[in-house]
Structure 1
């Protein structure tokens, strides 16, 4: 059964309800939960840091001379702001990839200002404006470096996708045959695993000392370190991933349809959550509440989350018309 995570109030009455599931794990297993801690969950873009790992394991980033920012955007859901496009165009050149070789479809940027400027100027949609293009370029860098076929790189039986799937299963500590596979919005395979397994994977992203395989461990240290060093490449201006990654104790990445994951280095905890209606607006409120409930000591991170999504709901005239409130209580597992 799911649990109500957030209520939206208007005129003193509940107008909207956002239910879902939360799981928090440490090295010994499940430690916190709300709803079904083993809810089967598609990773969507929360899987991008993991999807970037095979390229780093094989040293594709070094082979092509990718910069820190170019490598970091492999794990990102960028908004195609100018500083994103600069790195993506540079990657195309270094990899010797034609933009049309990307499977992700042409689109306009998710950043509204960037999209407005392009539309006003009559500029066309581009594949690198797609928020997943960094991920696609990362996979293509692996293909070029290893001599894999560039065509069909999003097919589930392609060697690049097979490496990604096995890496996920390894980090999640589960049999590869139990990983459910679907198709993501960008055309790549998307994987679904139980929420506690997803939290476990993020625990290991935050605590690579728990990873036995030295090559995977080194790749995790590199990609997560770059995510913290260049948080703007993982999302964009005033985005929750960017704000959380400003805290060097946190590894975090969200995905479409309400899934969000983060790991805490010092505390040795990994969290994964799913908002069942697919909403993302509640993420900052939910995560701030999680951090408060576990006694997280870095108050500035919680304050930044609450500033990103204030509890007060303002109408078009700037008048307080309602309130968002996280109403769940984490269950503690001993």
Structure 2
């Protein structure tokens, strides 16, 4: 019998300064094919992973099933915020305020804590103009508005819309577990930064769930399939809403062949429609800065045929390391090899 040695994680990216190894980002990568089988791996694909905001496309499915966008007259750019981690740009806030107006939701109904925008430019604008922190500035505000709108439409309670036992949250958990081919009772739960339940399950099952986003024909239930098509339609029609310009989720969604969403602490999921492949990854030190380099390497290793997408990723995270004077003093290297299964 052949002895299989399981490697929990592998170096994904190494950073060198003056030829000296300074930092290593270890992690795990999993790729699955259209049969839901592991096709590529680097590290232990059964590693239990908290999804964080990588769950947002799935959390938006109950909203899409009830066609909340149509009921409240929302356009795609507004509805895309239900699956977004917005960065607080003007085009985000304008759409969030429009959702408030169209749904009648009050900003103080959101659980999200008042904060400033994540992107530096809108944050500086708020500070320089003396603007106060707002609940809408929180990067999860769109998701919270979606659940408030859904609760109002369905007659659910709104004061506890974020609790795990709320019917909308239970529906999201059930549909996600189904898409991930994982028992609902075994999905582990914690609390996300914004107060929502956060799911945890093996990394390979996250990849399986993302596969269904890109290939909804694999979903047996018609209502769920149509809802997934609705959510991914919002995302691909308004990629800048899902994150912002110069950010990886938007850069990937600009490719009409890709569905993608990341979450805090280094977790990412993306899927390729034509190739009927999906990938999930976890950077174990939680870094998001190396995502573009890792995903570019994945696409290069599988010989993805859209060089423009790969170029966008490299532009987001150049290999060259520059110091404060913008002098090149080192480099970042993708060092993992996908093992084909």
TM-score by length of 1: 0.99
More divergent stretch after superposition (283-292 vs 27-36): 27-36
**Aligned with residue 220 of structure 2, among 212, 216, 228:** 212
Give the C-alpha shift of residue 25 in structure 1.
0.4
**Aligned with residue 16 of structure 1, among 15, 23, 34:** 23
Deviations 1:220-265 (CA, angstroms, capped at 9, x unpaired): 1111122111100000121100100000000000000000110000
Alignment check: 8 A CA contact 1:61 1:141 kept: no
Q: Does 1:153 align with 2:138?
A: no
> What are the residue-to-residue correspondences of 1:24-35 with 2, within 5 Å?
24-28=31-35, 29-35=37-43
Q: Does 1:192 align with 2:187?
A: no
Q: Secondary structure at the match of 2:149?
A: helix
Q: Secondary structure at the match of 2:139?
A: coil
Q: Which residue in 1 is equivalent to 2:75? A: 67
Deviations 1:251-304 (CA, angstroms, capped at 9, x unpaired): 000000000110000000111000000000100000000000011000110011
Q: Does 1:51 align with 2:96?
A: no
Distance 1:295 1:225 in 2: 26
Alignment check: 8 A CA contact 1:243 1:305 kept: yes
Alignment check: 8 A CA contact 1:10 1:321 kept: yes
> What are the residue-to-residue correspondences of 1:256-271 with 2, within 5 Å?
256-271=264-279
Alignment check: 8 A CA contact 1:53 1:219 kept: yes
**Aligned with residue 142 of structure 2, among 134, 137, 141:** 134
Deviations 1:1-53 (CA, angstroms, capped at 9, x unpaired): 11000000011121000000010001221100101111110110011111111
Distance 2:322 2:179 in 1: 42
In structure 2, the gaps of 5 or more residues are 1-7
Matched residue count:
333
Distance 2:123 2:63 in 1: 30
Q: Does 1:122 align with 2:130?
A: yes
Q: Does 1:315 align with 2:323?
A: yes
Q: Which residue in 2 is equivalent to 1:143? A: 151
Distance 2:184 2:30 in 1: 21
Q: Which residue in 2 is equivalent to 1:38? A: 46
Q: Which residue in 2 is equivalent to 1:113? A: 121
Q: Which residue in 1 is equivalent to 2:335? A: 327
Q: Which residue in 2 is equivalent to 1:7? A: 14
Q: Secondary structure at the match of 2:262?
A: strand
Distance 1:135 1:64 in 2: 15
Q: Secondary structure at the match of 1:287?
A: helix
Q: Does 1:228 align with 2:236?
A: yes
Alignment root-mean-square deviation, CA: 0.7
Q: Secondary structure at the match of 2:314?
A: helix
Give the C-alpha shift of residue 145 in structure 1.
1.2
Q: Does 1:306 align with 2:317?
A: no
Distance 1:80 1:72 in 2: 14
In structure 1, the gaps of 5 or more residues are none
Q: Secondary structure at the match of 2:27?
A: strand
Alignment check: 8 A CA contact 1:107 1:126 kept: yes
Q: Which residue in 2 is equivalent to 1:98? A: 106
Name segments (4+ residues, structure 1) moved above 4 Å. none
Q: Secondary structure at the match of 1:31?
A: strand
Q: Does 1:162 align with 2:191?
A: no
Distance 1:164 1:110 in 2: 27
Q: Secondary structure at the match of 1:252?
A: strand
**Aligned with residue 184 of structure 2, among 176, 188, 191:** 176
